[in-house]
Amino acid sequence: MRVRQHDFAAADATICYVSTGTPAMAADFARKEGLGAAVLSDQGRQAFAAARMRRSLWNLLRPRFFANLFRALRRGHTQTGVQGDPWQQGGVLVFARDGRLLCQQLDGAAGDLLDVDAVLAAARSG
């Protein structure tokens, strides 16, 4: 998402990240990653539950996770620590300005990649 920020800005899309960590952790993440977007804290995971995003140890230990891990390591990505709920999987939701859900992608295993082109197409349509 970060490398396509200019495309989302051109589509007049507002990006907001949601974390399960504390507000201080969310602010630290935004600063360290240079996201240029809001990072909100949802320690109670209400937004994740409403979006039906998975939360379980099994999702972290699925065989696909290990393939995702090796792909990330080959590309030079490393994880420096865990902040928030380590079992909570994420995803992306795209809403139209009138509140309609235009696109939903939910992680099935830790490290799943987003179809950023589909997310951007949904943002442009909204």
pTM of the model: 0.76
Q: Residue 63 has what pLDDT?
A: 78
Q: Whats the size of the chain, residue-wise?
A: 126
* pLDDT tens-digit readout, 20-68: 999 999 998 888 888 788 899 999 999 999 999 988 777 667 777 777 7
- Pick from 15, 1, 26: nearest CA to 85: 26
Domain count, the chain: 1
59 within 8 A of 109, measured Cβ to Cβ: yes
pLDDT given at position 102: 93
Q: Which of residues 41 and 86 earns the better pLDDT score? A: 41
